[in-house]
Amino acid sequence: MKIEIRPVERSEAVDYLKVLPYANGLPNWEPAPASWHGGPEAWPPPRKPATKQQLEAWADEVMDDHFHPQAAFVDGKLVGGSAMLSLAITVPGPGAVPFGGVTATGVIATHRRRGLLRGMMQAMFDEALERGEPLAALSASEGGIYGRFGFLPATMRSRWELERSDARFIDSELPAGSLELVDAAAARQAWPQIQEQIRQLQIGELTPQPDRWDGLSDEAAGTDGPMRYLVHRDAAGDLDGVANFRLPWSPSPEHTGTLVVDEFQALTPDAYRAMWMLLADFDLTRKIIAPSRPTDEPLRWMLRNPRAMRITRQSDNLWLRILDLPGALTARAYDTTAELTFAIEADSMCPRNVGVWRLAVSPEGATCTRTAMRPDLTMDIQALGSLYLGGMSAAVLAGAGRIRAHRPGAVTDVARVLRVDPEPFNSFGF
Ligand SMILES: CC(=O)SCCNC(=O)CCNC(=O)[C@H](O)C(C)(C)COP(=O)(O)OP(=O)(O)OC[C@H]1O[C@@H](n2cnc3c(N)ncnc32)[C@H](O)[C@@H]1OP(=O)(O)O
């Protein structure tokens, strides 16, 4: 049996797509909005296998400059594929760091558990390092697969519900500014404007694909009901918030009167408050559901009864992997002056990360160099990826045995250096 792992050529791109679940009409994404919103939609959603024409069109897309597909061949037959998408993520600073986003991954059932994904992952890590991307990231289809490749969650997300009758606010006065329901064409214009400003402010947010909002429409899709679009303008008339929401139709009474907020971004606390005050008290609805939101949602603290906002699901969101340790740690900013020495004992896929490192940070910048000093702590490479954006608690990772302190206070020092507020969040995947 001859195994070959190498980049995909255009003549092989349709074969590459055919090993991926979505090309076969299978669900390939566990936490899809439909399953999260808990509405009447069947799960998995019905999907048709891709047509010949669709496959050819996608094949052209996968040869794009930002998409880097790898394939596994066994005795000359393409049996597995995985790809990295060159993207950027907002890090503390703020600034954006390029990363390789792992996506479109599958190995056919007869060839699984033989190391083919591991081989493709190694090839993608090596290519990302050559392109100068110090990080890799992904959304995981299953939680048990990607830890062994050095990934761990760095952002989380929550699904919550609120009964409309409980949506009473501590301050019921609407902030200055105006709300407007707009059509899809206006929403397609509003989203890139708002998202670009959010991206610069929100740690963990990703650079969107240029066509990200092309699909917004006023037409109904299945039982979902048509998407509705809400925008907010400040007192000067400048756009500062946008939301997409639906009122799903259903023959079953328990699903009627639900308002689902699929996307929501606000640039200011006033826009945030005004938009939620409208959406949470929408006539002819009984319940509001937000399927994918940051875990530190301020709306809870706008309510007279904070307990009324019920988290019904919490999940990992973006999994991060440090490929180039000094490159990654010096690419983000720090608002404190401190020094940390830490050891990474093992990293078989990126061996240059192994060693004892001295990280010296200040608001002016950071250096990260190898040192012969005794480390303050030892951590695994997964823990460092999880801590990198500032959202994960060092104490929790120490409690889990992923960080071992060699002097008192070392774990608290890591938290002081890396932690951010509010929590990092990416509002979409790839
Ligand atoms: C980022 C994304 O794109 S998410 C989408 C991922 N795709 C899917 O889930 C589609 C269905 N699954 C598949 O196609 C395949 O099982 C893949 C792509 C997930 C894994 O491909 P494989 O070639 O079988 O993985 P490979 O053999 O390299 O596995 C490496 C290790 O992961 C383990 N592993 C692989 N898949 C799984 C799994 N689903 N659950 C638990 N462990 C797994 C293997 O046992 C192996 O363990 P070891 O290193 O301890 O020996």
ipTM for the predicted complex comes to 0.93
Distant-in-sequence, close-in-space partners of 220: CB < 8 Å, separation ≥ 6? 226, 249
Give the whole-angstrom CA distance, residue 105 versus residue 69: 9
Catalytic pick among 99, 146, 151, 388: 146
Q: Is 114 marked as a binding-site residue?
A: yes
Number of Cβ within a 10 Å radius of residue 77: 10
Are 3-133 and 331-418 equal in CATH topology? no
Q: Is the CB of 148 under 6 A from ligand 1?
A: yes
The token duo for 357 is 């490192």
Instruction: Judge whether 142 is annotated as a binding position.
Output: yes
**CATH number for domain 331-418, candidates 3.30.470.30, 3.40.50.300, 3.40.1350.10, 3.30.1050.10:** 3.30.1050.10
Instruction: Match domain 3-133 to its CATH number in 3.40.630.30, 1.10.645.10, 3.10.20.740, 1.10.730.10.
Output: 3.40.630.30
State the pLDDT at residue 142.
85
Residue 430 among the catalytic residues: yes
**Beta carbon of 79 within 6 Å of any ligand 1 atom:** no
From the CA atom positions of the chain, what is the Rg in Å? 23
Residue 193's DSSP bridge partners are none
pLDDT of residue 257: 87
Is 113 annotated as belonging to a binding site? yes
As assigned by CATH, the class of the 158-315 domain is: alpha beta
pLDDT score for 94: 76
What is the reported pLDDT for 31? Answer: 47
How many whole angstroms from 112 Cα to the centroid of ligand 1? 7
Q: What is the pLDDT of residue 38?
A: 57
Supply the residue whose CA is at minimum distance from atom 4 of ligand 1: 141
116 touches ligand 1 (CB under 6 Å): yes
Nearest to 93, CA basis, from 426, 338, 331, 413: 331
What pTM, to 2 d.p., does this model score? 0.94
Distance, C-alpha 394 to centroid of its chain: 20
The closest residue, in CA terms, to atom 8 on ligand 1 is 106
Cβ–ligand 1 distance for 141 under 6 Å, the answer: yes
> Residue 46: what pLDDT?
65
State the catalytic residue, choosing from 99, 334, 388, 430: 430
Q: Is 106's C-beta closer than 6 angstroms to any atom of ligand 1?
A: yes
Domain ranges of the chain: 3-133, 158-315, 331-418
Which pLDDT score, from 0 to 100, does residue 226 have?
A: 85
Q: How far is the CA of 117 from the centre of ligand 1 (A)?
A: 6
Complete DSSP assignment for 85-143: EEEEEEETTTEEEEEEEEEEEEE-GGG-SSSHHHHHHHHHHHHHHHHT--EEEE--SST
Tens-digit pLDDT string for the chain (430 aa):
899 999 999 999 999 999 988 777 776 545 455 555 555 555 556 678 889 999 999 999 889 889 999 999 999 999 999 999 999 999 999 799 999 999 999 999 999 999 999 999 999 999 999 999 999 999 998 899 999 999 999 999 999 999 999 999 999 899 999 999 999 999 999 999 999 999 999 999 999 888 899 999 998 766 667 899 999 999 999 999 999 998 877 666 666 788 999 999 999 999 999 999 999 999 889 999 998 999 999 999 999 999 999 999 899 999 999 999 999 999 999 999 999 999 999 999 999 999 999 999 999 999 999 999 999 999 999 999 999 999 999 999 999 999 999 999 999 999 999 999 999 999 999 8
Tell whether ligand 1 has an atom less than 6 A from the beta carbon of residue 102: yes
Minimal CA–CA distance to 414: which of 381, 380, 385, 377?
377
